[in-house]
């Protein structure tokens, strides 16, 4: 935690799961990201701003943006040494008043 009480996430942090690793995006992930993201079925389930076709230039731009985040909010999903997808967080400022989950 920093002096303001905020949780800090290291750029070297990784979360190892049974068959995958969640880790920050890094240089070298571009070809794998472009290969896996350039799929109409993937784009169908993404926000409209997700490019289709997904090019190497799109992958380079995304990884440059994600790698500059501090803390790292967008992580690569690595399977067998290759970045095959991603997962991200959106930090909010109103989470102390109402939970995002309603039952």
For residue 9 the two structure tokens come to 């996430």
Q: What's the whole-model pTM score?
A: 0.72
* Phi-psi region at 28: left, alpha or beta (left = phi > 0; alpha = psi -120 to 50): left
% of the chain surpassing 90 pLDDT: 49
Whether 43 shows a pLDDT value over 70: the answer reads yes
Please state the φ and ψ torsions of residue 84, each to the nearest 5 degrees.
-110, -5
More reliable by pLDDT, 90 or 4:
90
d(CA 54, CA 93): 32
In which band, very low, low, confident or very high, does the pLDDT at 99 lie, cut at 50, 70 and 90? low
Report the residue count for the chain: 103
d(CA 63, CA 72): 11
């Amino acid at each position: 935690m920093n002096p303001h009480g905020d949780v800090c996430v290291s750029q070297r942090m990784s979360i190892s799961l049974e068959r995958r690793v969640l880790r920050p995006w890094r240089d070298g992930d571009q070809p794998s990201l472009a290969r896996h993201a350039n799929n109409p079925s993937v784009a169908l389930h993404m926000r409209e701003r997700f490019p289709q076709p997904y090019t190497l230039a799109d992958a380079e731009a995304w990884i440059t943006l994600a790698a500059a985040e501090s803390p790292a909010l967008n992580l690569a999903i690595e399977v067998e040494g290759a970045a095959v997808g991603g997962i991200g967080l959106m930090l909010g400022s109103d989470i102390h008043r109402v939970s995002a989950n309603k039952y």
